[in-house]
Amino acid sequence: MVKTFRTALVVLLCSLPLAALADLTAIPSGKYTLDKTHGYITFSYSHLGFSTPQVGFNSFDVVLNLDTQNPQKSTLEVLIDAASIDSRVEEFDEHLTGEEFFNTAKYPDIRFESTDIKKTGESTFDIVGNMTIMGQTHPVTFAATINKAGKNPMKKVDALGVSAETKILRSQWGLGRYAPAVGDEVTIQVTAEMFYQE
């Protein structure tokens, strides 16, 4: 019994600093934009069952209108330059931006706009919204975690760090070529640091 209590106490004490780091009230409400040196959007999928390739985008913007007292009232917009896709293989990038997949000449942008934000835990939220790819819009929910909120010691500005993940079926957006041999289910991961804009 004593051992169980001590274990529980240790777990509680260890969790307190993490909760404090994710306290949104440590920063002001307002507009936050992406620190482009610390932002990543990647997606992964099954390749014939043999591997799980990771592909990213090199150019995108994030705008968060944050209400620290009522986070559910916040709004989030993400705009991705689809042609900035980066698989680390130039020939494959050309394939992905072509007509068989993202067709970036006709559909240059990928967009996500939140419609609802639901608190799910001490530092976790479901970000519900609409994702538009190739002119088609469908609802998506990201499971998001607040990594840290506070003053960035290097930039001397209020900052927020967030990680988020969702799974989609690419075929819903007309990107189903080669499925199911190449996985239809795609995992999207986002991690970003954002700075307060006065």
List, for residues 49-82, the tens digit of each pLDDT value.
999 999 999 999 999 999 999 999 999 999 999 9
User: Could you tell me where the beta strands, DSSP code E, fall in the chain?
Assistant: 30-44, 54-57, 60-66, 75-81, 85-86, 109-119, 124-133, 136-152, 157-169, 185-197
pLDDT tens digit sequence for 95-119:
999 999 999 999 999 999 999 999 9
CATH class of the domain defined by 2-197: mainly beta
pLDDT at residue 130, as a whole number: 99
If DSSP codes are grouped into helix, strand and coil, which group holds residue 97? helix
Find the angle CA(40)-CA(46)-CA(50) to the nearest 5 degrees.
120
* Residue 45 CB neighbours (<10 A): 17
To the nearest whole percent, how much of the chain has pLDDT over 70? 89
Please give the mean pLDDT across all residues of the chain.
92
Give me the amino acid identity at 9: L
Q: pLDDT above 90 covers what percent of the chain? A: 88
pLDDT score at 60: 98
Look at residue 45 in the predicted model and tell me its pLDDT: 98
Report whether the peptide linkage leading into residue 153 is cis, meaning its omega lies within 30 degrees of zero: no
pLDDT for 9 equals: 40
The domain limits of the chain are 2-197
| pLDDT value, residue 167 | 99
CA distance 139 to 125: 16
Q: Please give the average per-residue pLDDT across 136-155, as a whole number.
A: 97
pLDDT of residue 19: 53
Q: What is the pLDDT of residue 156?
A: 95
